[in-house]
Amino acid sequence: MHTTSDKKLIEVCYTPGQYPLYEGKFDLVVVIDVLRATSAITTALHYGVEKIIPVGTVEEARAFKAKGYITAAERDGQVVEGFDFGNSPYAFMDEKMKGKTVVLTTTNGTRAIQLAASKCTVVMGCLNNLDFLCQWLIERHENTLVLASGWKDKVNLEDTICGGAIANTLLETRRFRSNEDSTVAAKFIYRSAREHLLSFLRASSHRRRLIQLNIQQDVKYCLTLNTVPCIPVLKDGVLVRLDYHPVNTEYAIKTPFSSHSN
């Protein structure tokens, strides 16, 4: 039995713009950008990219490119002209990327990462690492904020569902509590979506945007659950793979989504 004072906070913040309303109370921030930044970063580190340097602007990325770095830049879903590639998870699965350092800037995701990069531990979450991440968050047992990247400071559906799934899973252990209605709402949206994730997300604005750009393959990949047991963590401004090998099976996590979701 855990008393309220033992319980740690889990809250969901919907956009980087709302982050100042939440920051300060948390030890750990999980940045989410399901379509596609955090899915791409998690995939990249899982497939062997050694480091990712997230930068906020295209100009910063260009400065790194001029110094010889591999650079990836995405704006409005497209690869920015002059860069090696954008934000597709598939770009990072290439054997040639193993052991490499990549500089990355994206429309929303890298901005959210930079905002959170203050005193807290900052990790990346997505549907691809959902259960692995939840297991680690439960073991870690710290005041945790899920920071959704949203779209240009507006709420988006896919990050809200992923944040709601994380909050729901942590709250069900009874070792966490939440105070914010944003968390309650994210949890209920996740619960409505979990039986039919793909059809629910048909309504997502960024999914439609990416499909117009003809990148259905990326959308399908990013909406697939539990494919990469990897947690990217920010260390001195650089994303690296967290050294985590779960030993505690007490909380073997299985976030409920219908098998039809995939």
Contacts with ligand MLT, residue ranges (CB under 6 A): 33, 35-37, 74, 77, 87, 106-109, 149, 210
Phi, psi of 4 (to 5 degrees): -55, -35
Instruction: Tell the smallest beta-carbon distance from residue 143 to ligand MLT (Å).
Output: 26
> Which residue, 56 or 142, has its beta carbon nearer to ligand MLT?
56
Rounded Cα–Cα distance for residues 19 and 56 (Å): 16
Instruction: Tell the smallest beta-carbon distance from residue 249 to ligand MLT (Å).
Output: 34
C-alpha closest to that of 223 among 77, 89, 71, 31? 89
> Which residue, 83 or 176, has its beta carbon nearer to ligand MLT?
83
Whether a cis peptide bond, with omega within 30° of 0, leads into 36 is yes
Give the tokens for residue 245.
Answer: 């090998």
Instruction: Tell the smallest beta-carbon distance from residue 31 to ligand MLT (Å).
Output: 10
Instruction: Tell the smallest beta-carbon distance from residue 30 to ligand MLT (Å).
Output: 15
DSSP for 160-209, written as a single string = HHHHHHHHHHHHHTTSEE---HHHHHHHHHHHHHTTSHHHHHTT-HHHHH
Decide: 207 and 159 in contact? Cβ < 8 Å: no
- Say which residue the tokens 């979701």 belong to: 261
> Which residue, 184 or 211, has its beta carbon nearer to ligand MLT?
211
> Which residue, 147 or 253, has its beta carbon nearer to ligand MLT?
147
Count CB-CB contacts under 10 A for residue 118.
10
For residue 80, the one-letter residue type is: V
Give the tokens for residue 79.
Answer: 């690869």
Rounded Cα–Cα distance for residues 148 and 165 (Å): 13
> Which residue, 35 or 201, has its beta carbon nearer to ligand MLT?
35
For residue 155, the one-letter residue type is: V
> Which residue, 111 or 187, has its beta carbon nearer to ligand MLT?
111
Rounded Cα–Cα distance for residues 55 and 104 (Å): 6
Instruction: Tell the smallest beta-carbon distance from residue 248 to ligand MLT (Å).
Output: 32
Instruction: Tell the smallest beta-carbon distance from residue 56 to ligand MLT (Å).
Output: 11
Instruction: Tell the smallest beta-carbon distance from residue 70 to ligand MLT (Å).
Output: 17
> Which residue, 10 or 159, has its beta carbon nearer to ligand MLT?
159
Tell me the Cα Rg of the chain. 17
